[in-house]
Amino acid sequence: MKIGFIGLGNMGGPMAANLAAAGHEVTGFDTAPVSIDGVSMAPSAAEAAAGREVVITMLPNGAILRAVAAEIVPVMAGGAVFLDCSTVDVDSARAVAADAADRGLMALDAPVSGGIGGAQGGTLTFMVGGGAEGFAKAKPLFDIMGQKAVHCGPSGNGQAAKICNNMILGATMIVTCEAFALADKLGLDRQAMFDVVSTSSGYSWSMNAYCPAPGVGPTSPADNGYKPGFAADLMLKDLRLSQQAAEAADADTPLGAAATALYAAFVEEEDGKGRDFSAMLPRFEGRGRG
């Protein structure tokens, strides 16, 4: 396919490279000067998008998505797929999709899970909102960039799935870190704690696959000084999106709200900015009950 790719940062760059390596003709654009193997760079987002069968965006927030969409939608070819892989608010995703549909485009909101490692390895999971025809056309690209793509329903539902998933992830990581800090103070060895919980009713992805305790379980960012695999800043962004959506939907999410407040304090008032979201463990290690 002829693909335009806008937003070639830590996630978008490897995704575009994987598409190019698979033989697709990829034209890219980013506001920063970047060079991606196999990707031809365009001088503007509009020029990267014009005449392409699929245009993929990976952008920081809903406001930037809306601005980029306003630039590229008018120049995209009729029947093309506008595939947005950003994580943004549901309202922005649905507004952009509605505008794209009015112009004869097939819009998909397809945020991802798997982090930078998943983008590099082509093992991302895509949560996709939009029409079935657009999903079918984009499916071969999902298969290159990821290991799984789930069609979640109409436009906006991909974002809904992402923020619900990450609200669970944020809350479970916090309580996993709390539990390790409590185990330390009770004299329970961390390896014994992992061996019990990872095979008992307390198991979770945060414990079993991404353990926040160094030297315990599979290798994770905890074993690399908490260098981000998924930054606490990004977790805070997603948790805030979850609470924005909960407010709009009149949904009661007290644990989601508490997780948001804790990550806000960690990132904005403490030393969490630029660290992995599992670095909550050393935070709790140094704190007492008060």
Residues known to be catalytic: 162
Distance of CA 276 to the CA centre of its chain: 14
**Encoding tokens for residue 161?**
């799935």
**Encoding tokens for residue 284?**
């709790």
**Encoding tokens for residue 244?**
């924005």
Pairing mode, if any, of strands 39-41 and 124-130?
unpaired
Helices vs. strands in the chain: H and E counts, helices first: 12, 9
On whether the CB atoms of residues 280 and 266 are closer than 8 A, the answer is yes
Q: Looking at the chain, list the stretches that DSSP marks H as alpha helix, in order from N- to C-terminal side.
A: 12-21, 45-49, 62-72, 90-102, 115-121, 132-145, 157-185, 190-197, 205-208, 232-249, 254-268, 280-285
**Encoding tokens for residue 147?**
């290991």
Distance of CA 211 to the CA centre of its chain: 19
In the DSSP assignment, the letter for residue 86 is -
**CA distance linking residue 153 with residue 32, whole number of Å:** 34
DSSP helix/strand/coil, 91: helix
On whether the CB atoms of residues 220 and 229 are closer than 8 A, the answer is yes
